[in-house]
Amino acid sequence: MKTVVVRNIDRADAEGVKRLGALGVSTVHEAYGRAGLMKPYMRPIWAGGEAAGSAVTVLAHPGDNWMIHVAVEQCRPGDVLVVGCSADNTDGMFGDLLATALKARGVLGLVIDAGCRDVKTLREMGFPVWSKAISAKGTVKAALGAVNVPVVCAGINVEPGDAVIADDDGVVVVRRKDVADVVAKGEKRQADEEGKRKLLASGALGLDMYNMREPLAKAGLVYLDRPEPD
């Protein structure tokens, strides 16, 4: 593992990231060909938090948050900090002091494949965090990791500068170069869904709207009027 800090990274297009944020995680994930979604154990520490930004990445070690302190300096307004860990860990690597520092630099949120603490204060500050656990467990500052190198976080390989979108449904990551394409597909999908929503609300069936009856019959689905006797 290279113990480096990369100072200059190419960030995702700010306007595009904002529009991905407006679409929300589920729509972005679908528009991205069902890719980029972190594992569902990543949960917001308070309901309703949302963030959409460009990733500054951190590789940390279990029980050690030294590299998060290092990463703060590399953050700019509009960034989301993404922390991967070299082994499974739930220690509370992040709390209100680090959040205060990140907020002062315009960082929009944190995504961490480990634990978080001071959740009450973070909720009061309105600083959103997606984490694997809530834990007060203190950490040391002993082992070097890296900042702004690719890291695996909750099953997704995140490159520095990737777009990171997070809300109540989870966290999705879009490659910088794919942002514009996903915005276009996602906004189209959203518009389509609006129409479908109205139809469904008025009692239309997905079976008809999506023309499923024929493929279902072809696949062998059988309708019975009554359960077969045992």
Q: What residues from 93 to 122 belong to the interface with a second copy (CB under 8 A)?
A: 95-98, 100-101, 103-105, 115, 117-120
Which pair of structure tokens corresponds to residue 30?
A: 């679908």
Q: Is 58 in the site for a second copy (CB under 8 A)?
A: no
Angle of the 179-201 helix axis to the 14-23 helix axis, nearest 10: 20
Stretch that binds a second copy, among 14-22, 134-142, 183-191 (CB under 8 A): 134-142
Taking the complex as a whole, the smallest distance from the CB of residue 22 to a second copy amounts, in Å, to 13
CA quadruple 139, 11, 28, 95: dihedral, nearest 10: 20
CB of 188 to a second copy, least distance (A): 16
Check binding of 79 to a second copy (CB under 8 A): no
Name which of 155, 178, 143, 161 is nearest 69 in CA terms.
Answer: 143
Q: How far is the CB of 47 from a second copy (least distance, A)?
A: 8
On whether the CB atoms of residues 162 and 55 are closer than 8 A, the answer is yes
* Per-residue mark of binding to a second copy, 182-211 (x: CB under 8 A): -----------x--xx--xxxxxxxx--x-
Instruction: Kindly state the helix (H) or strand (E) to which residue 50 belongs, with its residue range.
Output: none
By CB under 8 A, residue 127 contacts a second copy: no
**Contact residues for 36 (Cβ-Cβ < 8 A; gap 6+):** 28, 29, 156, 172, 173, 174
Binding mask 14-53 for a second copy (x = CB under 8 A): ----------xxx--xx-xxxx-x-xx--x--xxx-----
Which one of residues 64, 79, 81, 173 is an interface residue with a second copy (CB under 8 A)? 64
C-beta of 183: minimal distance to a second copy in Å? 17
Q: What is the nearest approach in angstroms of a second copy to the Cβ of residue 193?
A: 6
CA distances from 195 to 3, 97, 189, 192, 199 (A): 51, 46, 10, 5, 6
